Amino acid sequence: MMDETELFRNPSMKRILIIEDDKDIVELVRYNLEKEGFQVTAAGDGATGLAQAKHSPPDLLVLDLMLPRLPGLEICKELRRNPKIPRLPILMLTARGDEADRVVGLEMGADDYVLKPFSPRELVARVKALLRRAD
């Protein structure tokens, strides 16, 4: 994990927030994103994650759908209504893979949708693509 002095030296480092309740998935995603030079923070439930995203908006959000305390779709809707962060890229990372779930996720404001189990390399590539489009 990066310390504050390292972050201070590299202000262009992109910040990613993961809202996911499975600690193993958080660590897998964190490891692969940090290896690519991203600053990663995580929240283990929906309410905490939404509060973090509003307080200190990240450059990109990786969001699970099935979360304790507040579901991912509600977080997505709430963030899309927030005028301070209307263009926040949101990548949904979820086990809910039915076509209807994917369509609803994208209609609620997700920019991309990745199914579990997933390839960490593909996830990193999708994160980079979303950030390129956001810039």
**pLDDT above 70: percentage of residues in the chain:** 92
Q: What is the pLDDT of residues 74-109, one digit of tens each?
A: 999 999 999 988 799 999 999 998 999 999 999 999
Environment class of residue 122 by beta-carbon count within 10 Å: exposed (0-12), middle (13-18) or buried (19+)? Answer: exposed
Environment class of residue 18 by beta-carbon count within 10 Å: exposed (0-12), middle (13-18) or buried (19+)? Answer: buried
- Give the pLDDT of residue 129: 97
| Rounded Cα distance, 9 and 11, in Å | 6
- What are the backbone dihedrals phi and psi of residue 102, each rounded to the nearest 5 degrees, phi first? -65, -45
- Give the pLDDT of residue 10: 56
Q: What is the pLDDT of residues 36-63, one digit of tens each?
A: 999 999 999 999 999 999 999 999 999 9
The pair of three-digit structure tokens given for residue 82, joined into one six-digit string: 């927030």
- Give the pLDDT of residue 12: 76
Q: What is the pTM of this model?
A: 0.90
| Rounded Cα distance, 15 and 50, in Å | 15
- Give the pLDDT of residue 9: 44
Whether 3 has a pLDDT exceeding 70, the answer reads: no
**pLDDT above 90: percentage of residues in the chain:** 86
Environment class of residue 44 by beta-carbon count within 10 Å: exposed (0-12), middle (13-18) or buried (19+)? Answer: middle
| Structure confidence at residue 135 as a pLDDT band (50, 70, 90) | confident
